[in-house]
Chain A
Amino acid sequence: MENTEKKSWLKSWGVLILTLFLLWIFAFIVGPWGEQNIPVFSSIVEVIERDNIDSTAYMYTEIEGSYTGEKDLLGSLKLKMPEETGFNLTFISGIAACIALLCLGYKFLPMK
């Protein structure tokens, strides 16, 4: 009984340590190799480092490009086509289409 417990304890810790070791191999050997050898990836990595992009971010608020992009694009539109900015009829029809789609989905989505 004691032997089985000891074996199971050793196995658990063994798997844990092995997994951490595999991670270490990925972080310092396999991963960097991929960065160099997957086509285009090395250039993407260069951009991530050069522009200090948090490529692990999940929301727009975590990325500076969202804010600069927003200001730049909105500014361009306001300068050249002010009539295309704001809540005009075409824009509202886009939102209405979204709501209409969801209403249709609510009514007709299959229950089974």
Chain B
Amino acid sequence: MSDNSEIVQDVGKWEWSEMWKKEDWWAIWLGFIILLAGVVIYFPQSGELKQELSQIEAKYQAEAQKTDEFKTIGWYKLNDAKSGVKAKSSKIGKWLSNFTHKPHGWSTNPLDAFYKSESKAQAQQQQAAGRYEAAKATTANQYQEALQAEKKAEAAGFENETLNEQAKAEILDWRNAKMAESKAKKKLSSAKPYNQIYSLLGLGVFFAVFFGIGMKCMGKSFKEFLGAFTFIYALTVLAWVFSYQDTMKHYGIGYAAWAIFLGMLISNTVGTPKWSKPAIQTEFYIKTGLVLLGATILFEKIITIGTAGIFVAWVVTPTVWLITYWFGQKIVKMPSKRLNATICSDMSVCGVSAAIATASACKAKKEELTLSVGLSLVFTSIMMILMPIVIHAFFPEDKVMVLGGAWMGGTIDATGAVAAAGAFLGEKALYVAATIKMIQNVLIGVMAFFVAIYFTTKVEAEETGQKIGLIEIWYRFPKFVLGFILASVVFSLFYSSFGAAQDGLGSTMIDQGVIKGMSDLFRKWFFTLSFVSIGLATNFRELKHHFKGGKPLILYVFGQTFNLTLTLIAAYVVFYIIFPDITAAI
């Protein structure tokens, strides 16, 4: 994105010094330093964890594969045991998680976001312990019932349909009880005393030095940056505090919305302090965050619900993107192609993350990103509440879970809202919705690459009136996209090679190691820093100018309506007409 009104800033020449003077490259270096640190910290454990997984397999495999009629108790035990093996559970992983922890959730007292006393924690523990013990007892009872039912079905060689169905139902009850138990356990373990103040201060110092080094190398004053950064960081922490207040959490108003809002509130009322300007480095933070985001784009994730999932997520999404972009250009006559593209991505792919990636790839203005993110956040909250109501009211009972889940997963922008609405319908709906969203998340990389190529070779060529050759594409191409794609490719390869060495090791080392134990911990902070910077540099009047005639709203509403219609039709055709066996299997 460009920070000022100039859209195209790249100069048509290449100098090697760009690699240590330009923020695109510094975003790549800093992003990869964090990812490399994750590799160094977690990968040495791979041998030990591989052994642990193979021991688990040896213990439960035979039980798990007793029949393919239904998922046996052994099957679930195998999965549970494997899921419990996480690289991030190491000592250093836990320390990192504590150090980078955001402010905690709170209800009425904002101080609870930073500090919980021993006595308060003890009172909560006592309350939670009672619930946990009760849940544990229920699970134990259900387990016995499930075990008996499975034994009866096994005695009949798993050929008696009635006994199989009974066993399936009892096992499902046991799973539900177990899930309730694990949630109660989580509540119990989270009822611990904490003092987040020191780690937040330490983290602020770390970020200031981390980005400050990059700034210094790019020729800016390190000292001025440090002073200014305290202000940006304080607002970032405040954005997190606001987003974790109970009511805000329930409405799904997340950190991006608060960061932009707080920044804009200050800049448009009392004004952004001049001394804070050296740290308003939107692009630097956002691009570094995007390189980290690249590591979460793992291509193997797209095989989860087989062919059905890929058609709903990967065929419908680009269709909606292209048609909405065309509609924006031809019918709505959007004044900015960049705003058009950013809205298309955030509406059709997956909201905020896709909007950030696309806006950066096409060098959209900061107000254009703000507007797109704002539209997405408003509609996400509305859809999170309305879609389950519509599904309950109009869908046939047998199609609520899979069709309803797929519909919500393919259309609601943010994953958190997808999960909340899916969980409301039921566990299977949550699984289908979250998985479709995950497959769609992988598209962020594909779409960002497409947008970068399209804008570099076509839109910029038209704007500058120059024909763009291959070497010119290299000059103008947003380089951080290379870091983003490289991170995605490298970690996809790691994921696959770990998975090939031992089933489940890819998830243990990458998902539950480098991603959740490193990249994710920092990425969200970097995005919040960038959104605060966007807010502080945004003027209401400029924003109003982009909203002229309500064109962005018309575009979003058209796109989302088309998305809702096409996704519903595609999900029905794919899950119930072309691949009904897949639907029955899941």
Contact = CB atoms under 8 A, between A and B. Distances in A.
Interface of A: 12-13, 15-16, 19, 23, 26-28, 31-32, 34-35, 38-41, 43-45, 47-48, 50-63, 65-77, 79-81, 84-88, 90-91, 94-95, 97-98, 101-102, 104-106, 109-112
B319 interface: yes
B223 interface: no
Contacts of A50: 183
Interface stretch (B90-98, B197-205, B322-330): B322-330
Contacts, number: 254
Which of A16, A43, A55, A79 counts the most B-chain CB atoms under 10 A from its CB? A55
B304 A53 contact: no
Contacts of B385: 38, 40-41, 44
Nearest to B314: A98
A47 B420 contact: yes
Contacts of B265: 16, 19
A86 B305 CA distance: 10
A58 B353 contact: yes
B254 A57 contact: yes
Interface stretch (B119-127, B245-253, B470-478): B245-253
Nearest to A85: B306
A39 B321 CA distance: 32
A57 B454 contact: no
B415 A62 contact: yes
29 contacts: A12-B271, A26-B247, A47-B423, A48-B250, A55-B252, A55-B384, A56-B249, A56-B253, A57-B415, A59-B520, A63-B415, A65-B422, A65-B431, A67-B507, A70-B435, A73-B304, A73-B305, A74-B305, A75-B71, A75-B75, A77-B582, A79-B585, A84-B579, A84-B582, A85-B303, A88-B307, A95-B314, A102-B318, A105-B454
B548 to A, nearest CB: 19
Contacts of A73: 304-305, 431-432, 435, 586
Contact of A66 (B326, B438, B520, B586): B438
Interface string B186-197: 110000000000
A98 B447 CA distance: 10
A14 B249 CA distance: 27
Contacts of A57: 254, 414-416, 419
A55 to B, nearest CB: 4
Given A13-B269, A16-B266, A97-B315, A58 B415 contact: yes
Given A73-B305, A102-B450, A35 B516 contact: no
Interface centre among B255, B307, B581 (most CB of A within 10 A): B307
B423 A51 contact: yes
List the 9 closest A-B pairs by CB distance, nearest first.
Answer: A56-B254, A69-B431, A57-B416, A94-B310, A31-B247, A60-B438, A80-B585, A105-B322, A16-B269
Nearest to B436: A69
Given A12-B270, A55-B419, A81-B582, A111 B507 contact: no
Contacts of B318: 98, 101-102, 105
B68 A44 contact: no
B419 A65 contact: yes
A58 B257 CA distance: 11
Contacts of A67: 83, 507, 511
Contacts of B183: 50-52
B509 interface: no
A30 B305 CA distance: 41
Nearest to A83: B306
Contacts of B321: 105
A80 B168 CA distance: 14
Contact of B68 (A80, A84, A104, A112): A80
B430 interface: yes
A44 B421 contact: yes
Contact of B329 (A28, A86, A95, A110): A110
Nearest to A105: B322
A86 B303 contact: yes
Q: Which of B245, B416, B446, B515 neighbours the largest number of chain A CB atoms within 10 Å of its CB?
A: B416
Interface in B491-528: 507, 511, 515-516, 520, 524
B83 A28 contact: no
B256 interface: yes
A59 B329 contact: no
Interface string B145-187: 0000000000000000000000000000000000000010011
A107 B367 CA distance: 29
A100 to B, nearest CB: 9
Interface in B86-123: 108
Contacts of A72: 79, 431
Given A44-B384, A47-B424, 5 more contacts: A19-B269, A28-B247, A55-B250, A59-B296, A72-B431
Contacts of A43: 424
B35 interface: no
B269 A15 contact: yes
A87 B520 CA distance: 28
